[in-house]
């Protein structure tokens, strides 16, 4: 027997009684995966919207089947200067991406979930304007993935708890 398996076996037994269950139980045919793949992502405005929309579509893995739910997302993308040099120029910025999203049941128009997600990133403002713009863009790409991950995790939890069910 593998040493790692032997060491972890007592922990697996202990966790089995604590009420923890796999989120994606049943694999791609399980309730969570089936429901997530039945969610269409409504268009989201702006560059940040395009990035978040693509990240969500990648994670939800809609295989082109009929949608049972629509995910509507509104984003707030801000860059705020934090540090100031002696010459009053900004030395550090914070990029914040916040999302308010609703999961809507297409059968009856009911809002199944209304929630928020968000994250922020620090950006050093350097002498090169190009480098600063590249850092801002890179931060937005990272934040888009983080926000998409938060949204999908919340959607999966809602399905797991019985808030949304596949057709």
Give percent of the chain with pLDDT exceeding 90.
Answer: 54
136 pLDDT higher than 70? yes
pLDDT in tens, 77-105: 999 988 778 887 788 999 999 999 999 99
Q: What's the pLDDT band for 63 if we cut at 50, 70, 90? A: low
Assign a CATH topology to domain 22-160: Double Stranded RNA Binding Domain (3.30.160)
Contact of 65 with 40, CB cutoff 8 Å:
no
Q: What's the predicted TM-score (pTM) here?
A: 0.79
Q: Is the pLDDT of residue 122 over 90?
A: yes
Q: What is the 3-state secondary structure (H, E, C) of the chain?
A: CCHHHHHHHHHHHHHHCCCCCCCCCCHHHCHHHHHHCCEEECCCCHHHHHHHHHHHHHHHCCCCCCCCEEEEEEEEEEEEEEEECCCCCEEEEEEEEEEEEEEEECCCCCEEEEEEEEEEEEEECCCCHHHHHHHHHHHHHHHHHHHHHHHHHHHHHHHHCCCCCCC
């Amino acid at each position: 027997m593998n040493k790692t398996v032997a060491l972890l076996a007592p922990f697996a037994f202990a966790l089995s009684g604590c009420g923890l269950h796999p989120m994606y139980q049943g694999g791609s045919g399980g309730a969570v995966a089936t429901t997530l793949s039945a969610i269409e992502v409504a268009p989201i405005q702006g560059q940040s919207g395009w990035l978040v929309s693509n990240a969500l579509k990648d994670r939800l893995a809609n295989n082109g089947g009929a949608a049972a739910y629509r995910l509507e997302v509104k984003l707030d993308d801000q860059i705020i200067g934090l540090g100031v040099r002696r010459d009053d120029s900004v030395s550090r910025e914070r990029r914040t991406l916040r999302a308010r999203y609703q999961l809507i049941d297409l059968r009856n128009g009911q809002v199944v979930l209304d929630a928020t997600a968000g994250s922020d990133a620090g950006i050093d403002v350097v002498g090169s304007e190009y480098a600063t713009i590249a850092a801002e863009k890179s931060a937005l790409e990272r934040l888009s993935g983080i926000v998409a991950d938060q949204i999908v995790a919340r959607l999966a939890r809602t399905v797991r708890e019985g808030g949304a069910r596949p057709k």
